[in-house]
Structure formats: structure tokens, C-alpha cells
Structure 1
Amino acid sequence: MPLIKAESLKVGTLRELLRERDLSTKGTKAELVTRLIEGAGTDEFDIEDESNELKLLRDVVSSLAATVESLSKKIDSKSEKHNSDIPKKIVSDDHFNHSHSIRDIVELLPDFEPTKTSSLTAKAFIQRVRQLATAYNWNEAAVVFAVQTKLNGPAKLWFDSCGLIFENLKDFAEALESEFPHVENEADIHFRMSSYIRKPTEPVLDFFYRVYAEGRKGQTSDAAIIQYIRRGLNHGPLQNAIAPLNFQTTNELLDAVNRFLANRQRLPEASQRKPENDGHFEPIKKLTATPVKNANRVCYNCFKPGHISVNCPQPQRLERCAKCSKTGHTTEFCKSVLPASRNINQVVSDGMPDQVSRETGRITKNILLDDMVVDAFIDPGSDRTLVRESVARNSIPCDPIILKGFAGGSFVCDKKINAVITIDECVVNAVIYVVNDNLIPNALLLGSDVLLSKNRRMIIDSDGCRFETIKPLNIKPETELSSNEKRQFNEMITEFRQCFAETIPEMGRCQTKQMDIQLIHDKPIQSRAYRIPLAKRQVVDRIVQELLDNEIIRHSNSTYSSPIVLVKKQNGEDRLCVDYRAINEATRKRPYPMPTVDEIMSQIADSTYFITLDLFSGYYQIELTESSKQYTAFITHNGQYEFNVMPFGLVNAPMEFQSVISGIIRKMKSKRVINYIDEVIIGCRDIAEGMDLLRELLTILKNEGLTLRPSKCTFFARKIEFLGHTVSENGIMPGTCKINAVVNFPTPTSITEVRSFLGLTGFFRKFVQNYALIAKPLTSLLRNQIREFKWTEECEIAFNLLKKHLSEEPVLALYKPTSFHEVHTDASMIGLAGILMQSEDQLTWRAVFYYSRQCSDAEQKYHSNELEVLAIVESLERFRLYLLGKRFRVITDCNAISSTKTTTPLNHRVARWWLKLQEYDFEVTHRSGSRMHHVDALSRKPAEPSAHPNTVADLIMVVEINENDWLASMQRQDPVLKGIIDVLSGKTQSTQESQLKTDYKLKNGRLMRRLGSDLKFVVPNPVRWRVVRSHHDDVGHPGCEKTLARLRDYFWFPMMRRYVKSYLASCVECCFNKIPTGKREGKMYFEEIEPIPFRCLHIDHLGPFPRSRKGNYHIIAISDPLIL
């Protein structure tokens, strides 16, 4: 034998040579060659050195080659006969025109690699090999040899290592299938089929056969395969076309698909660009036969070409049920009983009334058609309402209309009925068109003509759909309109009714913007909860449930939490408000540029009419990003919750709201629409222009998903107040409200009042030319030698002149958002006051806005600190538009107010007021009263009468408050209660499980005791004393029965009465202050003490006390009077 280079040897030979030399056989071929050359000292080897197995294999190959050569000759002689017997789809004619060598056989055989999902299974691989061998009449020995070369991956490694020689295909197939069995359950097949979605470039038929082939691997039913094909078609026109059709077999579905594709190919190019199945209906004036046009159309009734189903001479096909295979009804109305065992591949959609089918996305609902209850299919995409012919009664002829969209074709309808449809107490008189039973999936198809009828609204959710009658709005314009203008206005309001909300369920949600909260650190913030009285917890539960029902909040497991405060409104109702001060301190502030007042005013300066719009609970219409919701979490006694929408009190909320409104205004074509924070104003020269602008804005609001509060909107007003200015058709004038506090300052009647007024004017004396000369008559009254107060005409002139100077430039400045601002506040028992100050350099300050009002009788009794806080709150609310979105300073002469912003917890009254200020970014600075005469004067002579401004609860619809639920955690530390909790939650088993489930219940993770129909909190043993103390010591030390009554309202623990009696008997205050019942103790008897130790002992006992660690609960005191 000649020498062969190591590089030319096969891997098996290399490994055999390495084994003979005790060398490693692992690695790539290059590594094996290198290792063999280094071990043998040469790169040429004699094949004679091969093992016996290799020699035997070589002999087999030689014999096979001889056999194949003889077979090739026979194949040549019989090629003509085989060429006529073999199907053309299996192999081309060229394969029979030459002798088949081993190489030819190898080329025709498929590969087998078990690790690839696209590869054939072992069983399928062997079946393919046998089919080819039979078709080509191959010699079995040649096939066995050739098939071994098609093994790849693990299969090749298996064959190389098994050391077996297969003489026939049967033995090879058994060994291969045994080594690589195909294990695949039906669930895997369904999982893959459910993920199949047709690619946009993939032919529809290719996708059909891809899903079909996968289903046939696991013997999946036709019903399941049809559902998977429907779901993954990704072809809108085709899916719409086959949606109303029911298929029993995949062949029926394939026929429908082929007909649809064939019809589309025959359509003109323009028609293919705009599919016909858009669900619209076109009236026709005359029906004419068009045999040429329909010559190539296929009938959907008899499946023959040349006509359409409406002209089919054959009887109409009846709809067949996919469950029982009977005609006359569909699956939804089938009364047959399914077999007891349902296979996983049986996909059956048992549509129930008023239910959303997750497989098909269809919504059905029981409705009343005249006096008959029918199952209706909700289809807002249809222009007409349709009814099955078998259901319609008293049908009448009508002008024919073409119904487009059924399986890519059309249906001519010439019958209708007039009926009364009742849906959820909404009654509609409808015209319903009659169609064949097999064209719609239910007895009735509700189209948009009924669903979107006037003053009706359809709401679709996961539970189905419901219909509501829309309450018409009663909106009256401020200006008298002509009859035509009034009609246009009312029609517009009705058309955009969904843009107005009068209740929270009607409120919209912004579709284009979400609020994102970013903190400056990742450390969780868990503020200490404020305590809420037990009697108020039911109020908290009710409000939380309302917010949950309206999806304003949701349950939470956030690591952040803020306290809540229960706030009482003017009408006596309670509101829940969240204290977000800690979150606001850690929030990264978002700057947002505010437009200048001059720029805003110039856009509406030449308007005649004005429209002002206000959003309904505007903050609640802006959703939070998913990552931001955790930061708004708050805790109540029944769990933790977080907001889905932007709550009141977040420091960045005003800027986010301004951003949303500004985005809407930017979409307007006209520049005559302006906004500042939450105020939107439309200016127009005439009514027609106002109508056009209002329609444009309402259209944008509708697309954005936002809603307005009609009671706060004004339409076509002649004059409005905006940013401290009065805007009318006469131009822009300074508003009177900002100077009322000065203009209405009363005439002084004493020296003290004169001094107060001069304190106000003296603060701005640098802006008043010749101030000293003007004020001289007033300052003369302050001289010590003048003892009698006398108000002269000169004093009156000076007084009025100074007020005039204070209410106009240069003392009163126009507001500039880019300037620095301060709010100076003061309060007295007489009134509250505030002045908005502005400066360009923080050195010279000028007034922008004055505010003062009298205190009510109740407010006059407040503590001075509370009045100072109230002055700040009301001043900032009055100056709100000027201060939102910017940093400013509050100046007060009350030093205690400086720490109010960071004090926790706050006084309840102060806390309610202070919550209104969470959206402002400010700091509080103390300044001595001697430097605050200007604002002190306004507080002592307020211009406005006392009023009852909106409380926090009137302005906030937010939630907060609670205590740490330490009782729930203590339950899990009590071994007895923890065992019960484990049994109820299924973690452990117990022989008393049924009894425990009867007596106890887990609610929100807390163990509750069933007492009749009530659930009481189970109090752990270690904290019973604390619970009793809170219901006895903290509420005035009531007696045993009252204490028990309080406890039994919420709690339960064994032998409660005995424990309470024991606790009350050991209460020191009760023993000291209360006179015990029964016979009074007699007076203590004293006797002379003999000077002998232990001759006389005094003994007494105290108790019972709470049991000690050693089990004692009484104290015995013994003393020797001699020692004392």
C-alpha cells in the first residue's frame, strides 16, 4: 500500500492511529493531525496499519461498489420503464437517463441532524429514504451505505462511536429511531402554532400550508388549525372576508382563500389598491345582469364559476354547526353535549351573550328586538344593522343596496324590517336589512347606524359592552346669538358631546402625553403616616373604592409611601389628600418656559368675543408612566395604593399640565388661541370665526382624549379677566382686582390707622415723586403735640393722592415671568393680606398685585400662627397664575412659619391648608414686623369682606393617610395565628382545616374572625394590652362595657371580657379617680407599735396587673412598721 499524508486521512482513521499510540483523540482534525505527526515522527502513514474493523469496512465498501456497478447496468436497461411509472413530482426525468452512482444517491437523500428544529425527525427521515429507494429501485446495501453519509451533528457522532455495521435498512432504522426518538406533546405544537404570524411578503398559501403541516404533526383537529390560521393571517381584507363564514374542515377554508385570491387577481389595479371589504354599503338605482363581468366569478353557494351566489339556481346552503355538524344553527346556539374529555387541540369558542371572545375578538350581547330576545354581534365598522332572514318578521321590500365585504364579494339586499331595538334601557327605532342566515355570525348584526345613534354612547371593555343615553348639555352663550348661529352652536356641542364631562366616569384621558417623575436619588421614601380616627376609616374605604372604580388609583406594592390627610369640605363631605412634601423634595424639578404676558395679550388684543375653556379635573386626565406610579404610593388601613394618573400635590404637575395644553394650542392653525397654565382662551372678531376656531379646538381635544367641564366654560363673552387684566373689544386694561386692596382702603379714623396707612405707602416712597410733600398733612397728625385727631380736607386730598400713586406705575409694575418675585404676607385678627412683589435685580422691589380680606368670626379665634399660614395659603392661591412653575420667596413676620414646610406631623388645620401649596416651588423667609408695615396695613384694613374660599378638599381629589399596619405583622409573629394563616393560605395541611376555614378568613393578608356575617381583626396575644389601652386609656377611661363595645366593633381575641376586666382593674388612673362599687372600706385601725422587730406586720396586695414574664400578675407588699 502506498504511503498517505496525514492531512489526507479521515478523522476516524486519525483517531484509530492515535489510539494505537495511546494518544488523545479529542480535538479538531488539524489538532489530531499535529498530535499524530508529533507522536509518530512522520507525516506519512501506511494504510496497512489500520485496525481490523477498518479493514472489514473497506471490504464491505468494495463489495458494495461492485454491487452498485452491476445495479447501474440494470437501471440503464430499465430506465424507460421506471420513467413511466414514477410520479413527476417525485423526481425529474433526468434521473433515469443515466446510471445512479453512490454520489447520485447521496445527493438525493435528505440530511438528518436532530439538533436542528428544521430537520426531519428520525422516523420521517427513514420514511423519506424508503420512499426514494422504492421510487428509484435502489439496492438496499447501497442505500444503507449512502444514508450513513447524511448523518450530521449528534447523529454522526453516534454512528462513529457505536461500532456497528448495518447490513440492511431495517436494522439501521430501528437503531436510529431508538437512539433519536421524537418526543413532542400536543401542547408544544399548539404553542408553536399560536406564534405563527404571516410575514408581509409571505404568500398566503405558503402560510396556510406552514400552519397546516405543523398541525398535522400532532394530529391537531381541523377546528384548531382553522383558528390558528385565522389568527395569524395578517391580511386585513382576507380576514374580514372570511370572518362571518364558518368552516368545518381545512379544505373549506382553503377553498375560500383560493376564491378570494382568484377574485382579487381579476379586479382592476385601482380596486386592489382600495379593498372592497371596507364594510360600507352603497345604494343602487337599478340592478342589471352582467354575465361578462361575472363570467370568471365563483359562486359561494355552489362553488361553480359563471355567476354569483345571489343568482345561484341551486338552493342556498344552510349554515352548519362546527360542534355537532348539523345545519340550521351555529356553535353558539348548539344544544349538543360535548364529550367528557376535551383534547387540548379542540379550540371551541362558546360565545356567551355580552361577552368578548378572546380567540376572535368578537363582542356579542343579548338585546331586545321588538318583543324578542336575540343574540347580537357588535360591529361598529358596519354602516348598517343586519338581521338573519330566519329571525326577521314582517319584512318589506326596499330599494336594493349592495353590501360589500363578505368574502371579498358583495351581496344585494332588497328586504328590510322596521323594529324597535332595546339595549341596556336605550331604545332605538331602527331600519334593519335582511340577509341570508349564513352571512352574519349571529341572529343580529348591530352596525354604526344604531350603535352611534344620536345621544347614545357605547362603552367597550373586557367584560363586553354597555350602552348609555348621553345627557344633553345645557350650555348658553354669554352673547345673544341669532337663531341660525344658536342652531349651529347647539349642533356643534352635540357633535362633540364626548369632549365634555360632568362626572368622573365621563372624564377623558390624554392619549399623547404621560407624566414622568424623576428622583435625584434611589433611596425609598417612606414618610410616617398620620393617624386617622377609627370612625373615619369607613370614609377612607369608600373614597378609595370610588377611586379604584374609576381607575384613578390601583393597588400597589411600592417601596415608597406618603401619608394621607382626611379633609372636610364646606358641604361637610370628606376628601382624602396626599402629603407629597417628602417626594417633592427628592423630585428633579422640571423647568418649563412660561410665555410673557405681553406676548399672550397681543394675540387676542383686537378680539370682539372671547371663549374660555376649563378642563374637567385636568390633572386626572394625564396618566403617569408605569415607572412613575410607584412614587405616588400611599397606605391606608386596608392596603397600599398608587395613582394611575397625575395627582394634585406633585411639584412638577403644573409644568406637565402646561406642556399638555401648550401642545394642543400649537396644533391650532390660528394664533388667536392662547393659554396660561390651565386657562385656555379663544379670541375672535365675529361669531363665525369663533365657531370655526371652537370646532377646530374641540376636534383636537377629541383626538387627544381630553374633556372639558361645561360649567366652568364661557362662550362668546364680551369681557373677561385674565392675568390681572380686563380684556374686551375696547382693548386691554389693567384689572381692578389687583389694586382693590389699595383703592378700597378705608379713610383713617384714628392716629393708629394713619400710621398704618403711611406704613403701606412708605414702603414704596422711592417710586412716588415728592412723597414727603404729598404725605405732609398725614404725617402732621402723628406729631406728639397734636393730641386731638382731626381729619381735614388736605388730609383727604393727600390720602386719595397716595392711593392713586400706589395703584399705577411706577409703583405698580406689569408682571414679567422672567423677573424675581416675592410674596409678602401678614395676618391679624381683623384680616389677611398679601402683596406680590417683583424685582429685576433683587434690590429694588415693586408691587404687582395687592390682596386683602377680612377674617370671619371663626377665623378670628385662630392662633396667630394659623392665621399667618392662612394668609400665605390664600395669597398664593390669589397669585397662582403668576407663581406656578417658578421659584419664589414668601416673606412673613412669623418665625414659626419658616419651619412649617418641613414639620411632620403638622397640626391638622395647618396640614389641610398646607396641602394646597404642594404644587408651588418656594421658600419661607422670616422678616421682622418693623420691616413689614406695608402688608401689615392691608391686613388691619382689609378691602374685601370675609368669605369662605374653596377648601383644600374642594380643590383636591387626591388621597392619603394612615398608620403602619403593625397588627398584621404581629399576627405573623404569633406562632398560633401564623399556623392558622399558613393553613388558610394552603402552605400547610391540618386535620382542623375545615373548622379553621369556618371560623377564620384571610382578607388582604390579614387574619379575620368570622362572627355571623361580620369579620373582626384577630389580635395577637403580645399586643392585646396595646389595643385595649388605645380603646380605654386614649378615649377617657370608659367602663368595662363601653370598652368592650368599642373593641368588638373591630377586633376579636379569646376571653376578651376577662382580659378587659383584668386590665381595667389594674388601671392606676381608674383605681385612683373612680369610686368602686359595693361596700365602702372601713377606716384603718392604728395601734401602738411595740419596739420589737416583726411583732406587727402590715400586709397588702395590688393587682391584677398584666401577666409578667414569670407568670405573675399580683403584688403582695409586706412591711414592718418598726422599720418604717
Structure 2
Amino acid sequence: MVLQTLRDNKFYAKLKKCEFWLSEVSFLGHVINEKGISVDPSKVSAVVEWEKPSNVKEVRSFLGMAGYYRRFVKEFSIIAKPLYMLTHKNVKFEWTNECDLSFRVLKEKLVSAPALALPELGKRFTVYSDASRVGLGCVLMQEGKLIAYASRQLRKHEENYITHDLELAAVVFTLKLCWHYLYGEPCDIFTDHKSLKYIFTPKDLNLRQRRWLELIKDYDLNIQYTPGKENVVADALSRKAMPSTLNYVITEFALMHISYCHVEVSEADTQVILESAIPKRVLEAQQHDQLLQGVKKRIDEGRVGNFTLDNSGAIRFRGRLCVPQKAQVKEDILREAHRSRYTVHPGENKMFQDLKKNYWWKRMKIDVAKYVASCGDDIAMDFVVGLPRTPKGKDAIWVVVDRLSKVAHFIPYRSTNLASDLAPIYVREIVSWEDHLTLVKFAYNNSYHASIKCALFEALYGRKCRSPLCWDVVGEKSILGPNWVQKTSERVAEIRQRMLTAQSRQKSYADIRRRDLEFQVGDHVLLKVSPTKGIVRIGTKGKLSPYWPILDSSSGWKISLSVGVT
């Protein structure tokens, strides 16, 4: 059949470029076999292994390659909307959570793309079209077999269309997109807008509708009504909105590894409880520590006053969980309090105050100080200047060294750059802080502040926010309105008193080095005169006021004023 078609059209095939008796063939990035047409796996692998774009050019490159297979991907234009928004003119490149989710979903869709049937000329086509306030969508089928998906977002002017025109626009979109299949072939178009059945017998049409009607009349089609609940695929293509930020958070939570936490689900599958695994690990360590087992024995005998047992059988010192000295869990607690994503490398005092509310062991403050001092998660930097100027205007090298791994970064810059110019260079070349800003805010608000002697979250809500280190179980307790107001008022008064104490302490530190300013004869000073009745300010005020020389300071201050000043 192929050879006869070539002969009829007077085409000639080169023998060495031909292959015979193949069950499938790769052609223009597609694999064609008896089942239909599908995506070439070798081409898809390039998309799947694509690194996250870092600029608009890379986004366009990814969309160009992925868009080549858009006929295989249901809701392609809707899924890719955040990426297309990045390519718009005068739009700042910001890789948001929605962009990242869109990027990953597109790659997953391409991997699982279905095989599409090949159209057969002479057989009737079936099209399902639909429109919404989000976009237009359609599905092309033939004898129940899927030929192609198609969808696109609404343009600005289309958002103002009435429902009738939107549904008609979906039909026109389908005909323009699939004209090479539908032109000259019988076709049934199903829509959930009943008035389109009578599009060929209207009374009044605007110019846009007349133009569309002329296009529709060129096709051998029959528009039929189908309820929206039966027009499932096209309806989903047009109505599917972009994944919201909440959906992104849920997806990330499902994939996220929560350190030191495990999940318990009740038998009825109606309740999920998150608990910190640290208390259980401490309890296990206590059972293998001879010193604490001796303490437990004395507790049972009633001979230890400050030590108690909680409901789980764990030993506590004045309400704080006792951590064995030589247990690995102690090192894990220190690391979690200082280097986890929920902290911001606090100093020894802040870290100690955060830990001592929940944990206790001997020489705890010393261990905290040693751990903070030994932390190598910081950098050193140096500047190499005086180099010959390059064609790009750079004449110096900024050297940034990770003190733990000793890895060095060499960044060219201009010696005239200020610190404010180097900061964005450091962020761009070394770190990406914007992705972690939420965690930084959490760590700051949930850490101890010396001025109010508690965490900011605790000052606002009456308790610290839960974290792997502080995961107190909330029991069934309620505080009525009057009691809650009383407790809040007491907490506010206590915080205000702590702030006054901290301000007084800071003032005393500042007063140690403060010296009263002494003027000498000949010094130029500003003069302030109270604007009482009968006295006028001297000339201008503020930073434009004149300076007056001091003539004598033996008894008060004698100042030389200009003639005419009163």
C-alpha cells in the first residue's frame, strides 16, 4: 500500500534509507505501530531528565520540547500556565511553588502519555467541545478511539464573552485546530450548550458571530447537544483550574520526610496523630542507662524529690525529660536545636534557653556552648584586588570559603562595588534564600528572645509552636473566655515588665561608656529657642539652621549672634 501510494504520486524512495517488515517505526519523535501513535521514549527521557529552569530562555526551551507532544497530554495548556506566565514580556522571573509543580506534573504526564489512535479517512469523526471562564477544551475521537486532546487558556478579550459566544468559540477553536482531519470529512460535534443546535437559524448576529458562522459552514458537521455531566472529558479540559498553593503544599507534605516524626492512624482511619519520636528514643536510652535506672529505683522508694516519673514511665527532673549523658539521642537533640531547618544556628544562650524547657542533663549548658563553638556551618571570605581590568570591567576576585568542607568559590567583581552590591551576588552565586524564607521566619518566631524571656510565638499564643524538639501532646482542655482574657492580660503585663528590665539593663551597659559632651570656646553650635509668646525662632530650622560660635563658657554659654537676630 505504501509503495503504491508513492508510485501514484511519483515519489521515489532510496533503498538504503528504507526498512521493511517492521512492527513499529520511529518517525519525527513518535512511535507508530498497529496500536496507534505514541511518544518516542528516547525523546521523553530528555524531558524527564530536564533540570529545573533558572531563566526565561530555559523555560521557553522546555516548553518548546514538551509542547511538541501536547496532543498526548490532557490539560496541557492549563497545567503549563505558570510556566507560560514566566515568558510574558515585562514579567520578573520568579520560580514559585506553582511553577515547580507545573514543571514536575508535565514531566510525569509525558512519561504516562497514552497511545493515540491513527485517524482513518472516510470514517465519521466525533468531537466533544466545551468552554468555561478558564479556557477552551476539546477531544477528537473516531469510533470510540482517542485521536487527540486539545486545550488552551482564554485570551484577555475572550474573558468578556457571554456564555453562548464562549461555547461557540470552543467549536471554532476545534475546527481551526483539527481542520486537516475534519475538512471534507463528516463530523459530529457534541456541546453542552443547547442553543448552539440552532446556530444556523439565528435572527440577529454580530460581526464576530457572522465570521464564525462562515467558517463553520465550510465543514460537513452536525452540532448535537449533550448534558454537561456526559461531556466529562472536554468539560474537565476547559474547567480545570491551575493547581492552587494549598494543593502544592499538600503534595509537598506527602513527599516530605519529617525528621524524628512518625504517623499513627486509628482503626477507623478517621484520625491522624503526629508525634515526635525523640521522647520515645529518650525513654529507650533511659532504660539502658545505669545511673538513671538507679534514680528510677529511688523514685519508686520515694527518696528523690526533684525527680518524677511521667505517664509513659520516663524520668523527669523538675518536669523536664532526663537525657542520658552518653546516649546518641543527646547528640541528635543538639543537632536538631542548632542545625535543623526549623532553627537558624542560634547562639549558646538562645539555644540553651530553648532546650532547657523540655530537656535536662548534667553540664547541659557547657555541652551547648561546646556544640555551638564547634559548628562549622559558616563561611570565610577574602578579596583579591589590583588585578588587570577584564573586558567586562571586573578587576577583583571575591573568594568565599566554606569553613567545614573547605570548598572555595571565586567570584569576579568590580573593586568599586559596595557591600550592598555584593549581597545579591552572594545570594545568586552561593545560596538561594528566598526558598527558605518561611522556615527562617518560623525559626525566628519560635526561638528564645532574651528581652522577653520567651519565644515570640509563645508570647502571642501562650505556648511554643510544635517542632520535632517541642512536641507536647495537647490534651482535652478548654479555657473559657474570662479565664483566657485574664491569662492573656497577665502574660502581657509580664512581657512588658521583662522588656522594661531588658531596656534598663541595656541602658546601664550604654551608660558605662557614655561621656557628657563638653563644648570648648570656638566650637560652632546650633541654637534652639522655645517659641513662646514674643520670641521668634532664629531664621530657618532643622538641618538648614546656621551654626554660631561659642565666645565664652566660664559662666554659662556666650554665643556670637548675627546683627538683627532677636
TM-score, with length taken from structure 1: 0.15
